[in-house]
A = this chain, B = another copy of it.
Amino acid sequence: MNRYEQQLASYATQVNDALRERLHFDRELRQIVVVDAMRHSLLDAGKRLRAAMVLEFGRLTHASREGAMALACAIEMIHAYSLIHDDLPCMDDDDFRRGKPSCHKAFGEANALLAGDGLLTLAFETAADAPLSDAQRVEAVRTLAKAAGVCGMLGGQVIDLGCEGKPVDLETLNTLYALKTGALLRASARLGCLAGNAGEELLETADRYARACGLAFQITDDILDVAGDAEKLGKPTGSDEENHKTTYVTLLGLSGARERARELIGEAGECVAAIPGNEFLLWVAEMILGRDH
């Protein structure tokens, strides 16, 4: 592992520990099923890219570690909720997620529905309880709600549903990706900056960086679905073609999609070029481009 991989892994370990702590409820055993379902989807899952972005922007803005960590947990809860609900039979109907059974496969549909609801709710409680000023907490709640809501991630899911089986143009695909993936990544960068009381200029810079990373992330997803390794991905490839889904690869071809992703990563790098200590952010952008899962 190079030092940036170590940093990312360290952020992931820290956020997993913090999440585990926050999922500890002193309630009757009878409720354990839904809490187990929440744990199943939330803990030790994924690279924690969103949390890492909160924590790194928090570090760059000298935020308190605990304050930034609470917001990192909140964004990961919202991410996990969205995956649980996305996987449900009435949505994408996915049986697997990150190589293990999706939440409803492991706990049944009703528990998965409620586990998602519970994580979304807990995200807001976590932000409201963050060891930050009231003004920061309010702004964090607002940021999370806007990113998750109808004008953010949820809007992306709705557009996605509406596009099913239909040809989609590049503009719509850009909107869809900006909302579905971009909104949470942008919120992550913003939350880190908020925790450190960053000024408007840095908020704007962080936003442009995260927006470019988010779109590049989604484009590499499209590429991996065509050219990736199912084992490394922990899910089958070729599902977009099977579902007649329009992607960046369908619209621009494999090399066109790769080129667009590389352009975006270049843009992301330019955004943060002037920030001292930007090495991790630059590496994250390159990692998104080069990832194989």
> Which of the segments A57-65, A152-160, A227-235 contacts the partner chain?
A152-160
Query: Is A244 at the interface (CB under 8 A from chain B)?
Result: no
On chain B, the residues within 8 Å of A85 by CB distance are: 113-114, 117
A118 touches B31 (CB 8 A): no
Q: Given that A30-B162, A33-B158, A111-B161 are known contacts, is A121 also in contact with B138, CB under 8 Å in the complex?
A: no
> Which of the segments A3-11, A124-132, A264-272, A276-284 contacts the partner chain?
A124-132
A23-43 vs B, CB cutoff 8 Å, 1 = contact: the mask equals: 001011011011100100000
Query: Is A83 at the interface (CB under 8 A from chain B)?
Result: no
B124 touches A124 (CB 8 A): yes
Residues of A within 8 A of B (CB): 25, 27-28, 30-31, 33-35, 38, 81, 85, 88, 90-91, 108-111, 113-114, 116-118, 120-122, 124-125, 127-129, 133-135, 137-138, 141-142, 144-146, 148-151, 154-155, 157-159, 161-162, 175
Number of copies: 2
CA–CA, A49 and B90, complex, Å: 32
B118 touches A149 (CB 8 A): yes
Partner of A138, one of B109, B128, B154: B128
Q: Which 9 A-B pairs have the closest CB atoms?
A: A125-B145, A90-B109, A134-B134, A128-B141, A121-B149, A128-B142, A124-B124, A34-B158, A90-B110
CA–CA, A81 and B35, complex, Å: 20
A142 touches B125 (CB 8 A): yes
CA–CA, A107 and B125, complex, Å: 30
CA–CA, A155 and B120, complex, Å: 14
A120 touches B122 (CB 8 A): no
CA–CA, A129 and B103, complex, Å: 33
Partner of A121, one of B28, B122, B133, B154: B154
On chain B, the residues within 8 Å of A120 by CB distance are: 117, 120-121
A151 touches B27 (CB 8 A): yes
Q: In the complex, how many angstroms separate the beta carbon of A11 from the nearest chain B beta carbon?
A: 25
On chain B, the residues within 8 Å of A157 by CB distance are: 114
On chain B, the residues within 8 Å of A175 by CB distance are: 28
| Max chain B Cβ within 10 angstroms of own Cβ: one of A31, A133, A138, A159 | A138
Q: Given that A27-B151, A91-B113, A149-B118 are known contacts, is A141 also in contact with B158, CB under 8 Å in the complex?
A: no
A27 touches B150 (CB 8 A): yes
Q: Given that A154-B117, A154-B118 are known contacts, is A159 also in contact with B125, CB under 8 Å in the complex?
A: no
CA–CA, A154 and B149, complex, Å: 20
Chain B, residue nearest A144 (CB):
B124
Q: 17 pairs across A/B with beta carbons < 8 Å?
A: A31-B158, A33-B158, A33-B162, A34-B154, A34-B155, A34-B158, A35-B150, A38-B150, A88-B113, A90-B108, A90-B110, A111-B161, A113-B113, A120-B120, A121-B149, A122-B149, A127-B141
On chain B, the residues within 8 Å of A127 by CB distance are: 141
